[in-house]
Amino acid sequence: MNWLGSLQQLGRAIMLPTMVLPAAAILLSLGSLPWSNWGMSTVAEVSTYAGQGIFYFMPYLFAVGVAWGLSNQAGPAGLAALAGMFTYDRVVLHLGDGSVQPATLIGILLGIVAGVAHNRFKHIKLPEAIQFFGGSRFVLLFMGLFSALFAWVMLGTAPLLQDALDGLFRVVDRSQGIGLFLYGVLYRVLTAFGLHHILNNIFWFQLGNYTTPDGAVIQGDLPRFFAGDPTAGTFMAGLFPIMMFALPAIAFAIIQEAREDLKPKIRKTFVRAALVCFLTGVSEQIEFAFLFASPYLFAVHAVMSGLAMTLTAALGIHHGFSYSAGAIDFFLNLHLSRRAWLLIPIGIGYGIVYYHLFRWAIRRFQIPTPGREEGSELGDWAGNIPYQAPLILQALGGKENIVQVQACITRLRLTVRNDREIDTAQLKNLGSAGIIKLGGGNVQVVFGTYSELIREEIDKLLLRDLPQVLFSAPVQGRMLPIEDVPDHIFAAKLVGDGVAFIPEKGELVSPVFGKVMHIYPTMHAIGIATPEGIEVLIHIGIDTSQLKGMFAAAVEAGDNVEPGQLLITFDLDDLREHAASLATPMVITNPERVKSWSYAPFKNVRRGQSSVMSVVLHESNGGVES
């Protein structure tokens, strides 16, 4: 695995523990309410201590989360990291002078060591007499010993490391906004690679110190903000105008610049994306709509984001969030902010600029944003994930190509054997907003907030070993449900179940591996048997059995065929004139063999395009010999 791929895994692992922070923010907000006036002061105390407890134990959460993420969700690795944190805590507490305390950076370091140690030693074999300590149990033993030594070393080096972080904070603080500008730009750029969590951990959890009234030392912009530090929030405030106003404005610009025939779908998709970004700060669905189409426009967006950080700092605005800079966090944490009301007019101004800038750029440079070309619009996934997952897996190169599949909030994070096996165009048709290949087989596929559900379905498929048949598109044109065919015999599935196509070119190719069973005398239809025992009928047009001389076969009965191989050519113009309909059904005539069906989106397809339909079979009972 190359270094960029390693950072990808680390970035995802670091992000995992931050998922508990919204709970801390809600608890602290509840604790700030005047419960004593209502005779329920205990509620305020419980909420406040509970919220503070999450922040206090964040180093432990980071240790477990990082180890768990780096070890492909192995429980023993997380347990080993937690044991390491306990060991470290006891040593520095009793041998230190109080200046060395568990910090998120320590948790991350111990989590990395535990995760790497688990991957390295989980199968270790020891002499038989002590094999009890072999395997994954050895990781626990190793981490206990390593953490004791590490804590002893850190007694002398932790103050030096903290001085270096304090020096970095002073440099950024004295740079008159330049440091904040660079942070804002880097934040946006690293978001594209899914590595922004590594950067954020330094600025949000490491830089700056604040001593609470009870003597506790709090580190990092985010914990200091929730602890009541009036100087905290500078590394978060500038994100609110971008997340709440600028990015939703891009979504509305994309809607306005979409083609009229596609605008209803685009409006549904991007109004939802704008609302998600405004409320929660999850922005990838919008950003990936133009990231690959116009990298220069994304660079402008990164610069504008850096300027927002500088502007909010210059105006003395301090605001923070538990998860991201959306409206929920904006209002939930408003009581801890300073001059946060200024973020609203700044955000409105940013929204106006972004809206007009992006509309002009999309039109002027003909940027192919969603709705201006056929492709994915991040459609409605909610009920279709179990049916789309087999097609997504195939577009990723199939089971054999998958080494590891994980997910964060908005993207699948994969390690594959060969990233050239990935069908980028098909993933876009299946709902992907963007694909990033980091090298070394490390790939990210952005599916929005349904990514974790897609990962779960793919995991199920990886564990399932039922026979499966994948169908390519037999023609170039538009795919439609079999029920929409204007013929009651096909529409009622009396011949079989499957899909249909409206061809745009007079060529029919094989959708599967198999053997030609028969070709009808007028050559308007062909039957193919697959090695798995599936019988496929492809019927060109409706009421075409009497149209002689319009079709020409390129194969004969008994021939072996493969996906994309030419089967029949036909005169599309004559067919359009004489046939009742161009609808071309592709049906399985023995559907009792099929356990489950999966379909690609019913939209335009290319001839030979992989995975327009997938079926999982019941236990195999033999097929046709090739």
- Residues with active-site annotation: 408
**Residue 443 near residue 437, CB atoms below 8 Å:** yes
Structure token digits, residue 475: 């023609």
- Distance between CA atoms of residues 351 and 354, nearest Å: 5
**DSSP letter (8 states) at residue 400:** G
* Continuous segment of H or E residues that includes residue 78: helix 75-95
Give the 3-state DSSP-derived string for 149-202, with helices as H, strands as E and coil as C.
HHHHHHHHHHHHHHHHHHHHHHHHHCCCCHHHHHHHHHHHHHHHHCCHHHHHHH
For residue 437, the SS3 value is strand
- Which amino acid, residue 102? P
Local structure of 294: helix, strand or coil: coil
- The DSSP H or E segment spanning 392 is helix 385-395
**β-strand partners of 178:** none
Please enumerate in sequence order all residues whose Cβ is within 8 A of that of 200, keeping only pairs 6 or more positions apart, or say none.
187
CA dist 596 and 574 (Å) reads 37
How are the residues of the chain apportioned to helix, strand and coil, as percentages rounded to the nearest 5? 55, 15, 30
- DSSP three-state, residue 592: helix
Q: How far apart are CA 471 and CA 586, in angstroms?
A: 10
How far apart, in Å, are the Cα atoms of 190 and each of 140, 236, 301, 342, 501? 34, 16, 13, 27, 42
Q: Is 119 left (phi over 0), alpha (psi -120 to 50) or beta?
A: alpha
Q: Please say whether the beta carbons of 197 and 137 come within 8 A.
A: no
Amino acid occupying residue 297:
L
DSSP category for residue 243: I
Q: What is the 3-state secondary structure (H, E, C) of 11-76?
A: HHHHHHHHHHHHHHHHHHHHHCCCHHHHCCHHHHHHHHHHHHHHHHCHHHHHHHHHHHHHCCCCHH
